[in-house]
């Protein structure tokens, strides 16, 4: 969700105004994802690196998060959205932790969209944590395979993203879901996050649905659709 600060500055406003406006885009994304039948939506709301921002901006972001969680919980439940979080949550202020835990508990029964907030998150943090857990488990080195690492990630039950969308013209991963994005399609748009609304979200997903995903195979081999390709890989394993 990139470009909030620049969007605000272009309007002669403080950066925080951009974050606050970005909350409406979060609502739009959740709504569009629900309509399109997207099962998992992970939002990179605060990275490990974001802790180096000015204290006032961090505080404002945390306040916005607490306010948004409390203000949206009923709507999330109404839409059947289950909220979860990933990242070093213990590093967040107490009000954020309790706000998150509260909404997670209240939406735990929801079976629609899984909305995951990445907070105090980075891909390298997640991989480091995974390695620590594997070492603590005493797994012999020769028994460690790719699936061992996957099983020790923060949310092993969540499938890899099919599509990554980054707004504001930046074309980087910025330490997001480094393991999980291995085969994801990438969509970069110049639109700033506060302007990125339902139509933009839907256009990105529709454009993605038209892409050919090869998972390392040749174009000729790709004839039976994504499902067949994944099954084919499984069979060979």
**CA-to-CA separations, 37 to 10, 138, 202, in angstroms, rounded:** 35, 40, 11
Span 65-94, contacts to ligand FPP by CB under 6 A: 65, 68
Map residues 29-58 to x or -, x wherever contact with ligand FPP holds by CB under 6 A: --------------x-xx---x--------
Number of residues interacting with ligand FPP: please give it, by CB under 6 A. Answer: 21
**Which of 145, 146, 151, 152 has the alpha carbon at shortest distance from 131?**
152
Report the nearest approach of ligand FPP to the CB of residue 25 (Å): 7
Structure tokens at 63: 């306040």
Binding range to ligand FPP, per CB under 6 A, among 63-71, 88-96, 196-204, 216-224: 63-71
Report the nearest approach of ligand FPP to the CB of residue 64 (Å): 5
Among 16, 23, 66, 113, the residue binding ligand FPP under the rule CB under 6 A is 23
Q: Own/partner pairs for 60-68, CB < 8 Å, 24+ apart?
A: 60/16, 60/19, 61/16, 61/19, 62/92, 62/93, 62/95, 62/96, 64/16, 64/19, 64/20, 64/23, 65/96, 65/99, 65/119, 66/95, 66/96, 66/99, 68/23, 68/26
**Can residue 4 be called a binding residue for ligand FPP (CB under 6 A)?**
yes
Q: Is 74 a catalytic residue?
A: no
Measure the CA angle with vertex 169, ends 211 and 214; round to 5°.
20
Helical segments of 15-145, H only: 15-36, 55-79, 94-106, 123-137
Please give the backbone phi and psi of residue 95, each rounded to the nearest 5 degrees, phi first. Answer: -65, -35
Catalytic residue, chosen from 4, 50, 88, 102, is 50
Binding range to ligand FPP, per CB under 6 A, among 16-24, 32-40, 103-111, 196-204: 16-24
The conformation of residue 40, written as its DSSP 8-state character, comes to E
Which of 3/123 has CB closer to ligand FPP? Answer: 3
Beta pairing partners, 47: 121
Report the nearest approach of ligand FPP to the CB of residue 99 (Å): 10
Among 81, 117, 204, 229, the residue binding ligand FPP under the rule CB under 6 A is 117
Which of 14/35 has CB closer to ligand FPP? Answer: 14
Site residues, ligand FPP (CB under 6 A):
1-6, 15, 19, 22-23, 26, 43, 45-46, 50, 61, 64-65, 68, 117, 168
Catalytic (active-site) positions:
2, 50
């Amino acid at each position: 969700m990139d470009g909030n600060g620049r969007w605000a500055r272009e309007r002669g406003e403080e950066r925080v105004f951009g974050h606050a406006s970005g909350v409406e885009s979060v609502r739009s994304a959740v709504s569009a994802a629900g309509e399109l039948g997207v099962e998992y939506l992970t939002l990179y709301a605060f990275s490990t690196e974001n802790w180096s921002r000015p204290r006032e901006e961090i505080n404002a972001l945390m306040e916005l998060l607490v306010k948004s969680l409390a203000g949206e919980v009923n709507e999330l439940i109404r839409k059947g959205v289950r909220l979860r979080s990933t990242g070093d949550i213990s590093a967040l202020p107490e009000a954020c932790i309790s706000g998150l835990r509260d909404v997670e508990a209240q939406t735990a029964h929801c079976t629609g969209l899984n909305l995951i907030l990445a907070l105090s998150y980075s891909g390298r943090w997640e991989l480091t944590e995974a390695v620590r857990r594997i070492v603590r488990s005493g797994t012999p080195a020769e028994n460690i395979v790719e699936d061992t690492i996957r099983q020790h990630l923060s949310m092993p039950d969540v499938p890899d993203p099919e599509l990554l969308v980054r707004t504001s013209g930046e074309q980087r991963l910025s330490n997001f879901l480094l393991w999980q994005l291995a085969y994801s399609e990438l969509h970069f748009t110049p639109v700033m996050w506060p302007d990125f609304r339902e139509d933009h979200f839907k256009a990105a997903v529709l454009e993605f649905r038209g892409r050919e995903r090869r998972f390392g195979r040749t174009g000729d081999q790709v004839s039976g659709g994504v499902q067949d390709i994944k099954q084919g890989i499984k069979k060979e394993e």
